[in-house]
Amino acid sequence: MKRYHLVTFGCQMNQHDSDRIRDVLEGSGYAPCETLEHADLVLLNTCSVREKAEQKLRSEVGRLGLLKRTRPDLVLAVAGCVAQQEGERLLRGLPQIDVVIGPDQAAALPRLLAEVEQGGLPQVRTEFDLHEPRFLPAAPRGRAKVSDFVTIMKGCDERCTFCVVPTTRGPERYRASEEIIAEVAARVAAGTREITLLGQTVDSYQDPLGKLPGGQRDEFSATRMGRLQRDETEFPSLLRALAERVPGLQRLRYTSPHPRHLTSALVAAHRELGVLARHVHMPVQSGSDRVLRRMARRYTVAEYRERVGALQRAVPGLTLSSDIIVGFPGETREDFALTLELVREVGFVSVFGFKYSPRPFTPALKLGDDVSEEEKSERLAQLFELSEGQRAAHLARLVGRTEQVLVEGPGERGGYTGRTERNEIVHLQAARDVTGKLVEVTIAEAFKHSLRGTPTDRALLAAEGESGSAGAAAPTAELEPRAATRRSGHRALPLLH
Ligand code: 5AD
């Protein structure tokens, strides 16, 4: 049996695409191989969102080229965003590559590999599936993941001037809501407890078959984000349909949304649906209107503030994280100071900061790249210091509180690891396997990026390593049916401010 080794770079969408590539390969007779040296096929699923990611691919291919010299029948395939962006050109620079395949072409992989194995020329497939978009459902395999991803849309119609994604992922295409609901239901029936809905602008979702109610008025007072006054998306309706039709689903998350579609209907869904996690990743990119305009983000800082403010008020204790680019062309120190101010004001508990990196085919190329590398590093360090401080303060505030932890599996040192209803990672010890269970814990200690908790249920306390400090035995919170609505919630509401 032929064996493959798959290396994934980049975002959650790419991780998810890699899972589908595995399904396709395993469905056509390949077996996974842990070590690269023993594989017959090495596949790199690439990322091109920043230049660094692309450089990584090039050095990896160089390394594999050496391996190929000693093993000429090793097949080397490049998938993902760099493959899409470069297509045939990749073969010119890196002749060791046998197959180049874009994100929409996973299903064609076995055919292309067969071609190469029979001595054919290198194969390149980078068409987008514009007319009949395919969303490969996950193949059933082994034990279901406690937390898993379901793609609801792909591509991006935004034209943020820094971003290569419209080139590498094509225009927006949406999956039928019935298909999404069926896949989520199937996963939950197989044992998955938490689903993260995936899409490049996940909250722009519309049902291509028109099965969901949409078009609610967006009631955000005087704001005009772009020209979107009526909420054209059906994303909040999809969330409601999932909550209603998959009652066994414990937690629902989504990533990554665009602030333009954080409408009053989406805020209402967060207020009312108990299944929605109390954490939202809402990329803002900059805290300066001047920079946002040059980025073509289509919102102002005031509009962003108003919308996330409404979300914070609607859901007590909800935490926010964000993506921020530093050193975008023309960003002054004053602009950057406004970004820091916004980070402080919103109180993001986590910030993914990036130095601006010019990308091929993007409109920002014509703006130059005028912030020095040194200045970008300095700004990134300041952003990091501020956001790490906010994260530490947030985690410290949780000590002593009771949290519902969805256990994802064994962690280090014999314990288990899970996440709170927001998104904090919690390590805990338990006397038996609690994977997939919702365990109530008291937070005992805060680390730099995670927490330690002690189960409140005495029966779960491990014989060793725990002090038995849980006090009176509390009823176990394992597998409690989730609250149908926020208002009827029987869970302790975190009150963070
Ligand atoms: N340079 C730096 N960061 C970028 N991102 C996207 N494009 C670029 C770029 N050209 C960041 C954005 C986005 C995240 C996934 O990557 O912050 O939200």
Distance from Cα 403 to the centre of ligand 1, integer Å:
33
Domains of the chain in sequence order: 3-125 (3.40.50.12160), 147-397 (3.80.30.20), 402-487 (2.40.50.140)
Cα angle 344-348-350, degrees, rounded to a multiple of 5: 125
The region, left, alpha or beta by phi > 0 then psi within -120 to 50, assigned to residue 216 is beta
What local confidence, expressed as pLDDT, does residue 229 receive?
56
What local confidence, expressed as pLDDT, does residue 142 receive?
81
Question: What is the residue with the minimal CA distance to atom 16 of ligand 1?
Answer: 49
Ligand 1 atom closest to Cα of 163? 7
Question: What is the residue with the minimal CA distance to atom 17 of ligand 1?
Answer: 323
Q: How far apart are CA 302 and CA 325, in angstroms?
A: 18
Ligand 1 atom closest to Cα of 357? 1
Distance from Cα 495 to the centre of ligand 1, integer Å:
32
The residues with which 197 forms a beta bridge, in sequence order, are: 150, 254
Cα angle 342-312-485, degrees, rounded to a multiple of 5: 160
Q: How many other CB atoms sit within 10 Å of the CB of residue 188?
A: 20
Q: Which strands, in side-by-side order, build the sheet including 75-79? A: 31-32, 3-8, 41-46, 75-79, 99-101, 123-125
What local confidence, expressed as pLDDT, does residue 53 receive?
81
Mutation to probe ligand 1, out of 15, 50, 326, 377 (largest number of atoms < 8 A from CB): 50
Distance from Cα 209 to the centre of ligand 1, integer Å:
32
Distance from Cα 353 to the centre of ligand 1, integer Å:
9
What local confidence, expressed as pLDDT, does residue 54 receive?
82
Question: What is the residue with the minimal CA distance to atom 2 of ligand 1?
Answer: 356
Mutation to probe ligand 1, out of 162, 281, 365, 367 (largest number of atoms < 8 A from CB): 162
What letter would DSSP give residue 168?
Answer: H
Distance from Cα 284 to the centre of ligand 1, integer Å:
11
Mutation to probe ligand 1, out of 15, 354, 367 (largest number of atoms < 8 A from CB): 354
Instruction: Fill in the amino acid letter for 397.
Output: R
Ligand 1 atom closest to Cα of 364? 10
Distance from Cα 49 to the centre of ligand 1, integer Å:
6
The residues with which 148 forms a beta bridge, in sequence order, are: 195
What local confidence, expressed as pLDDT, does residue 168 receive?
96
Distance from Cα 162 to the centre of ligand 1, integer Å:
7
Q: Spell out a b/e string for 92-120, using b for 16 or more CB atoms within 10 Å of the CB, else e.
A: eebebbbbbbbbbbbbbbeebbeebeeee
Ligand 1 atom closest to Cα of 164? 7
Ligand 1 atom closest to Cα of 162? 10
Ligand 1 atom closest to Cα of 256? 18
Assigned token pair, 131: 């007319």
What local confidence, expressed as pLDDT, does residue 233 receive?
85
Mutation to probe ligand 1, out of 12, 284, 325, 362 (largest number of atoms < 8 A from CB): 325
Distance from Cα 130 to the centre of ligand 1, integer Å:
25
Distance from Cα 370 to the centre of ligand 1, integer Å:
17
Distance from Cα 127 to the centre of ligand 1, integer Å:
24
Question: What is the residue with the minimal CA distance to atom 7 of ligand 1?
Answer: 163
Assigned token pair, 76: 């080397």
Assigned token pair, 74: 């090793």
Distance from Cα 101 to the centre of ligand 1, integer Å:
23
Distance from Cα 285 to the centre of ligand 1, integer Å:
8
Helix 333-346 to helix 373-398 angle, to the nearest 10 degrees? 10
Residues with CB under 6 A from ligand 1: 49-50, 162-163, 283, 285, 323, 325, 354, 356-357, 359
Cβ atoms of 1 and 31 closer than 8 Å: yes
Q: How many other CB atoms sit within 10 Å of the CB of residue 20?
A: 20
| Angstrom distances, CA of residue 400 to CA of 201, 203, 447, 461 | 37, 35, 14, 17
Distance from Cα 427 to the centre of ligand 1, integer Å:
31
Mutation to probe ligand 1, out of 11, 48, 49, 365 (largest number of atoms < 8 A from CB): 49
With tokens 């629902």, the residue in question is 252
Question: What is the residue with the minimal CA distance to atom 14 of ligand 1?
Answer: 323
Ligand 1 atom closest to Cα of 11? 15
The segments of the chain whose pLDDT lies below 50 read: 221-222, 227-228, 464-481, 483-484, 487-497
Assigned token pair, 410: 């064994």
Distance from Cα 95 to the centre of ligand 1, integer Å:
29
